[in-house]
């Protein structure tokens, strides 16, 4: 099997809510997503999708992805997509960093590998260990009344894992969590996501003021060192996200006992090939994971859902259904969602097919 053609598509994903807002004044209503389609000499096609959460969240932005993909295309054309580690190495030799662009190609290769074998990707990633995956729902940053309404709505829809965006002034967030904390039910798991907005003293003030509320603190400070300092002095569980972008950084965190959980975003690490290593290292170390991505439609959701489904329930904290955060669905066959949980089909590959009528062709490489 050889890759004969790589097509790059883009589309806009409009958020279903009022605004997707989080710390630092960051707020988005529309996200540009990038879909890669790899065609082979066997007639099989594989699909990958990446969608940075706006230009100011991670080390990638949508407008830059086509340029990166133009440099990566010559390295993958003519190659066997089933050799996922070979493809990853060729991309790393051709372009330093830019993990998100590489992830689009890597995910499409895994889709092809599954289709070539006649197996769902989760089987190739280790087997179906979590057939029914717990979902979290994000409560975007807003005034307290709106956030309370969102929380109650998600609970009514069956979600028991709630991620609350923080990033007001610290005293305001203390009041917010005290207010919401009165509503917390014993079977619910809550995460307060600060997205690196606070200094260490602010994080510790917040933690001390709400120490009676059972809640994770996610990425309280911008740098790893600041988060580590908070972790060593807080009573709350600490989850890290933006602090880790490579396996080496994760290994440092394990040596330092820097976290209780992490957010594993597949595109941030470069696709499923490196992410399965991150997953296995964390599982072995007893670190629970939210396995997800920054944003995307049904293709992106399917990719990380296959990784989550092949993860032991002991290690899987939760995942999410990003395709349901958008007003439009760009693919058929996305994972099924009901009562706060998600399931995958047993179709070969990722099990999704793009709706090309909703995609705009950007570039073709042959």
Which residues participate in catalysis according to the annotation? 165, 265
The span from the CA of 312 to the CA of 127, in Å, is 10
Distances in Å between the Cα of 179 and the Cα atoms of 94, 172, 174, 175, 324 are: 52, 10, 9, 6, 28
Taken as a whole, the chain contains a residue count of 366
- What whole-number distance in Å separates Cα of residue 291 and Cα of residue 268? 11
| Gap between the Cα atoms of 287 and 311, Å rounded | 12
Ordered alpha helix ranges (H), the chain: 65-76, 84-94, 99-117, 121-124, 144-156, 170-181, 200-209, 224-233, 247-256, 272-285, 298-309
CB 236 within 8 A of CB 209: no
Say what the alpha-carbon torsion angle 25, 35, 107, 279 is, to the nearest 10 degrees.
10
Which residues neighbour 128 within 8 Å (Cβ) at sequence distance 6 or greater?
120, 122, 309, 310
Q: Are strands 136-139 and 161-165 parallel, antiparallel or unpaired?
A: parallel
- Cα separation of 267 and 161, whole Å? 23
Distance CA 220, CA 210 (A): 14
- Among residues 162, 171, 210, the alpha carbon closest in space to that of 190 is found at 162
Q: Which pairing describes strands 238-240 and 261-265: parallel, antiparallel, or unpaired? A: parallel
């Amino acid at each position: 099997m050889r890759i004969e053609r790589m097509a790059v598509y883009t589309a806009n994903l409009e958020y279903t809510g009022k605004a997707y807002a989080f710390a630092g004044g960051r707020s988005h209503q529309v996200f540009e997503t990038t879909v890669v389609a790899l065609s082979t000499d066997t007639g099989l096609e594989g699909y990958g999708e990446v969608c940075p959460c706006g230009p100011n969240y991670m080390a990638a932005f949508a407008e830059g992805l086509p340029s990166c993909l133009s440099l990566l295309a010559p390295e993958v054309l003519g190659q066997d997509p089933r050799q996922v580690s070979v493809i990853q190495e060729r991309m790393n030799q051709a372009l330093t960093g830019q993990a998100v662009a590489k992830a689009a190609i890597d995910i499409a290769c895994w889709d092809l590998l599954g289709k070539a074998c006649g197996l769902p990707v989760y089987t190739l990633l280790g087997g179906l260990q979590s057939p029914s995956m717990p979902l979290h729902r994000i409560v975007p940053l807003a005034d307290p009344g709106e956030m309370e309404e969102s929380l109650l709505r998600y609970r009514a829809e069956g979600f028991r894992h709630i991620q609350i965006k923080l990033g007001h002034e610290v005293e305001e967030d203390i009041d917010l969590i005290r207010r919401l904390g009165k509503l917390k039910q014993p079977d619910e798991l809550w995460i307060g996501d600060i997205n690196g907005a606070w200094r260490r003293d602010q994080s510790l003030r917040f933690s001390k003021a709400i120490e009676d509320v059972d809640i994770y603190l996610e990425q309280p400070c911008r740098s790893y060192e600041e988060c580590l300092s908070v972790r060593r002095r807080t009573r709350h569980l600490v989850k890290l996200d933006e602090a880790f972008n490579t396996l080496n950084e994760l290994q440092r965190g394990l040596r330092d006992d820097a976290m209780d959980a992490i957010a594993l975003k597949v595109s941030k690490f470069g696709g499923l090939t490196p992410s399965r290593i991150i997953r296995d290292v964390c599982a072995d170390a007893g670190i629970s994971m939210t396995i997800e991505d920054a944003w995307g439609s049904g293709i992106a959701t399917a990719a990380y859902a296959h990784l989550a489904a092949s993860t032991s329930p002991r290690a899987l904290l939760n995942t999410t259904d990003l395709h349901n955060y958008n007003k439009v669905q760009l693919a058929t066959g996305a994972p099924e969602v009901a009562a706060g949980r998600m399931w995958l089909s047993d179709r070969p590959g990722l099990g999704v097919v793009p709706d090309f009528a909703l995609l705009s062709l950007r570039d073709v490489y042959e």
